[in-house]
Amino acid sequence: MKKVTGIGGIFFKTKDVKATKQWYEKHLGLAVDEYGCTFWQAEEVERNPKASQQWSPFEEKTSYFDPGRQEFMINYRVTDLENLLSELKSNGVQLVGEMQEFEYGKFGWILDLDGRKVELWEPAKEDLFEK
């Protein structure tokens, strides 16, 4: 019997729920409503049957989330990461480090309005993760 089939949601505390929703809507294009934002995976699967989501525990003392102080980090799938990072920077969003590229995609990082580090991922070759 299957137990876990993917990531069902990400939940976190924030100082100002309304401002946080507005920030994510403005800068990352999330379609927010009274509950937050729902990502319907079926739409992604139609475009890319190899759509994946990652679940990864990190060592307690990792610096990967720095300079954020949160106990978790959200990774958002994006398209055209280079242009998105340029747009975010021009809108005053703080970028963290330089974009990195690997055989499985491009990665960039930003801080949201509460100082949480957010990872942006432009996928490539997702079949690398198949077993």
Domains of the chain from N-terminus onward: 17-129 (3.10.180.10)
At 77 the pLDDT is 87
Burial of 126 (0-12, 13-18, 19+ CB in 10 A): middle
pLDDT value of position 130? 55
pLDDT at res. 89: 97
Both structure tokens of 76? 């958002």
Is 81 a residue whose pLDDT tops 90? yes
> Residues 25, 112: contact at Cβ < 8 Å?
no
3-state helix, strand, coil in the chain (%, to 5): 25, 20, 55
Q: Is the pLDDT of residue 129 over 60?
A: no
pLDDT mean over 15-26: 94
Choice between 96 and 103, residue whose per-residue pLDDT is larger? 96
pTM here is: 0.80
Q: Is the pLDDT of residue 126 over 70?
A: no
